[in-house]
Structure 1
């Protein structure tokens, strides 16, 4: 009998959400909006709340029937429900689907990818809050066009790659991600949607990357400090531990992990160079 494969993604999400919940009291997975705030762990909840206020400022007049695509752990849906909207969530992760059911019990949760979603709506709003980048451009807007009621709106808040980004092979792992912004604009021209409003909030969200890296550096300091102590006081044990870790992680993966834990090249400056964090409000073309 084959052993069941460990779901490392679910484990990582569980640990990450537990930490965020401990730190902020909520399970928000999105960036913070840091305008006027000191970049510190203590201000993360305020920054994430400011992001939500910014996002909700683009909602059409309600109440709305909303399809929250890639709804994270359900925190955004919970706030939308509290405003009187009707919310359905599409999320492909079984773990996150369960968190959505717990955090937003008034929402209907569909555990699937948008590409496989069989609902027909119609919806007044398709919402992508840091989920648009995970859906092929050939699928996302055409699917929304079929799901929306006449006059319906698409609201996107996400990272888009700038033309400065030439791929992982050239630049190595870089913060951010998403579709190329120029390619998105070209795709939009051939879609049934027009831009009703857009805003570039890159500078306001970029400090989130610095805060994230600071956390990894704290963990890296602890790992390095313990490793050095064992190596100096128990060299045989250190050698054995290194061999054991090598059974699960290749030399390249170990190097990448330590670079993530101790490096400083993943920062707000790099994020600004390779990304634009955009909010797009789309409606039907005239």
Structure 2
């Protein structure tokens, strides 16, 4: 295994990991353990851990193992594929992430990640495929399709930024009606990676939230119960150090389940950074 020091340093010098309060408490050649203490800034109303935090733990755990397994010269790194299943809520309590190497290739690592409370209650499960680029030159990045440019945040949009986790990320809603959403997240220290780019965890939080808001844009507000059962994502490249914009649209729904296609791009050039599908549940009856 490569020295663990670069991986611990990555945690300590990444503004996003520091802002979350994530602590890398164990690292070996095939496993990692991360403690995330309870913080109001990581929560939804009611002290529930935000789904973006659980997705962030999948990224942090997967990358910690992959960086250690592939070595410090294998970067830059990005999570090319990720599946997160949200199993239950963590209410006002710390969670522990356990990441386990499933298989190591020449440039890729497949990692299984579980998030649970300290009492052992399962919170989320993920599988990740992390790629080390070994300094390979970047290809020409495709531009996002964007949207029609409408700017109606709806009745809910102005309130989203007041949710503790959203406020900490600086996320704002530009559009949120008719099953479509558009959100912007600024590049700031609390969202940053040691590399100088946006942290993958913050990227996944934006993907999760943009997809969820498309579901709410379909139903409108109401006394409904809502949650994210699952999310799939692909981070196409190491995220740049700039503001990101997220576009989502509901492509299919039934009574309770909303399937939202999401694209994230750089605000300056519109080039894709990540894409995925958020499966959101809103119980309206």
Q: TM-score of the superposition, structure 2-length normalised?
A: 0.26
Choose between structure 1 and 2: higher helix proportion.
Answer: 1
Q: TM-score of the superposition, structure 1-length normalised?
A: 0.25
